[in-house]
Amino acid sequence: METSFALTGKGYVIIAADTTAARSIVKMKVDEDKIKELSSHLLMSYSGEPGDTIQFAEYVERNIRLYQIRNLYPLRPAAAAAWIRRSLAESLRSRHPYSVNLLLGGYDIADHKPNLYWIDYLGTVVELPFAAHGYGSYFALSLLDRYHNPEASLEEGLATLKRCIEEVAKRLIVSPDRFKVKVVDKDGTREVEL
């Protein structure tokens, strides 16, 4: 089942998403990257209806890029979250709504703070210290309630993330076997191996 987690720490946001692309009961692909680097300091994981996800993620990606080209500076995380939310909210009441759930993680280079936004397909946005989508959320959120520390170093943050992934691997019936993990901090975005 599709699962994604994200958590903030001291000066960074970690986003993790599983890498399976499934159709019905068949795994079509096991190395799918479901986290986009929207700009130098902005990450977005996406999950939901196949087709909608990539279409919407690319639409967001190109518009965020367009803003940067037009204005010579990128959207800050809060502004990007607001724009994406509005796109989803308008789509919700259209003839064919996108059903895409997102986690938006960014490092705000203006106020030097990490930001994480939980966004669902309805256009509900919440700013959170940690978040999850999919069936994994039922396992991960309680672990994150217990172990999350906003002052944690990147190593400690990754250790907490590992707990979540291991719990999902242990308890979820059809658990994904691989997660892609990306980090955004003052130096920008990068992929990390667990």
Partner 1 sequence: MSVMEYNGGSVIAMVGKDCVAIASDLRLGNQALGITSNFQRVFPVTNRLYIGLPGLGTDVTTLRERFRYRVNMYTIKEERDIQPETFAHLVSSTLYEHRFGPYFIEPVIAGLSKAPSGGFKPFIAATDLIGCLNFAKDFVVAGTASAKLFGVAEGLWEPDLEPEDLFETISQTLLNAVDRDAFSGWGAVVHVITKDQVVTRTLKGRMD
93 near partner 1, judged by CB under 8 A: yes
User: In the complex with partner 1, which residue's Cβ is closer, 53 or 91?
Assistant: 91
SS (H, E, C) 111-172: CCEEEEEEECCCCCEEECCEEEEECCHHHHHHHHHHHCCCCCCHHHHHHHHHHHHHHHHHHC
Considering the complex, what minimum distance in angstroms separates the CB of residue 89 from partner 1?
Answer: 5
Considering the complex, what minimum distance in angstroms separates the CB of residue 93 from partner 1?
Answer: 7
User: In the complex with partner 1, which residue's Cβ is closer, 45 or 137?
Assistant: 137
Q: Which of residues 119-138 bind partner 1 (CB under 8 A)?
A: 120, 122-126, 128, 131, 137-138
Task: Identify residue 99 by its one-letter amino acid code.
Answer: S
148 near partner 1, judged by CB under 8 A: no
Separation of alpha carbons 148 and 43, rounded Å: 20
Separation of alpha carbons 29 and 74, rounded Å: 33
Report the interface residues with partner 1, using CB under 8 A: 85, 88-89, 92-93, 118, 120, 122-126, 128, 131, 137-138, 141
